[in-house]
Amino acid sequence: MDLLLQLSINGLSLGSIYAILGISWGLIFAVTRTFHFAHGATFVIACYAAYLFQQLGLSLILSSAGSVIAAGLFGITLEGLLYRFLRKAFATHLVIFVAALGTLITVENLVAMGFGTDTKPLEGFPIQVIKIGQVGFNNLHVVMFITAGAVFAALMLYLRYTKTGKALRAVISNPEMAEVIGIDVRKYFLVAFGMGSVLVAPAAVLVTIERGATPDLGHWAILYAFMPVIIGGIGSLPGAALAGFIVGLAESIGIWKISSQWQVGIAFVVLVAVLLLKPTGLFGFRVYRGKI
């Protein structure tokens, strides 16, 4: 029983990161319908921006703030210079996907050339172990869980109660109708890319604190960004958040009986199982209704 509880706690901390990744990528995809594989590149930029700022002498908090700004600017730049150009050229979804994948690979290689392939740690967060009976975790796990909740709550409040948020919801629901009633869809594509890129930065910082940054983290990040979105249902941000925790728990509890090297396989089993039972995802009906 203690082992199951321990694995569940580990799964919640892992799921917190997956939830943030899913929310951030899900917002961009719901608004723009762009299969933004370069979101993994944004994750890498955020990781190494935090590391670079700390090497320049900034505190962990200021380095994290710099990481958020760098991620946001990178996301806006991608939309403004790459995706918008491709849409104007009437590029197909496949062409846009290949361009995004190429951006991810390019960024990872440039980072490897500039910083090397060894792990870059982010310092300044004192890890403290917390034990309750036979179950142990640390304060970083608590911060991960709280951060995921704060990111989700802040985004949902923003979408529900602000003018810009309501416009984004309108674009998610029906971009053609939104344009008819005077909403500048291109402007809100930029907003979505900026917000989604900003939201991924906290996950990047937390992962860098926990395990350090490596250039290949982008592939890992995009894998666990789109998976919760598909499982939760395209367009449903609550679904993406919930699915992130489901995947995290499944991976953690799964290693109870299966070797940890098969964790990614466990995640894909969950994905396939959900799609077989409900092809639109857990909250797919909400997408049909134009809700999030």
Q: What is the mean pLDDT of residues 41-62?
A: 96
Q: What's the pLDDT score for residue 39? A: 97
User: What is the identity of the amino acid at 239?
Assistant: G
Q: How confident is the model at residue 1 (pLDDT cuts 50, 70, 90)?
A: low
Match 């951030």 to its residue by tokens. 24
Asked if pLDDT for residue 192 goes beyond 80, the answer is yes
Mean pLDDT of the chain: 90
Give per-residue pLDDT as tens, 53-76.
999 999 999 999 999 999 999 999
Nearest to 2 by CA among 129, 133, 130: 133
Q: What is the mean pLDDT of residues 178-198?
A: 91
Give per-residue pLDDT as tens, 125-165.
998 888 887 777 889 999 999 999 999 999 999 999 999 99
pTM: 0.92
Give per-residue pLDDT as tens, 207-242.
999 999 999 999 999 999 999 999 998 888 999 999
- Domains of the chain with CATH codes: 2-120+135-289 (1.10.3470)
Q: What's the pLDDT score for residue 255? A: 76
Lowest-pLDDT range, 79-83, 95-99, 258-262?
258-262
Give the rounded distance of the alpha carbon of 69 from its chain centre.
Answer: 16
User: What is the identity of the amino acid at 98?
Assistant: V
Q: What is the mean pLDDT of residues 105-115?
A: 96
Distance between CA 77 and CA 22 in Å, rounded? 21
Q: How confident is the model at residue 260 (pLDDT cuts 50, 70, 90)?
A: low
Nearest to 157 by CA among 147, 146, 145, 169: 169
Q: How confident is the model at residue 288 (pLDDT cuts 50, 70, 90)?
A: very low
Is pLDDT larger for residue 282 or for residue 45? Answer: 45
Asked if pLDDT for residue 25 goes beyond 70, the answer is yes
Residue 80's Cβ-count burial label (10 Å; 0-12, 13-18, 19+) is: middle
Determine the Cα angle at 194 with ends 212 and 241, to 5°. 65
| DSSP state letters, the chain | -HHHHHHHHHHHHHHHHHHHHHHHHHHHHHHH----TTHHHHHHHHHHHHHHHHHTT--HHHHHHHHHHHHHHHHHHIIIIIIHHHHHTT--HHHHHHHHHHHHHHHHHHHHHHH-SS-B--------EEEETTEEEEHHHHHHHHHHHHHHHHHHHHHHHSHHHHHHHHHHH-HHHHHHTT--HHHHHHHHHHHHHHHHHHHHHHHHHHH-B-TTHHHHHHHHHHHHHHHH-TT-HHHHHHHHHHHHHHHHHHTTTS-GGGHHHHHHHHHHHHHHH-TT-TTHHHHHHT--
Pairing label, strands 135-138, 129-132: antiparallel
Q: What's the pLDDT score for residue 206? A: 96
| DSSP state letters, 98-133 | HHHHHHHHHHHHHHHHHH-SS-B--------EEEET
Point out which residues pair with 129 in neighbouring strands.
Answer: 138
Q: Which two tokens stand for residue 133?
A: 């009976």
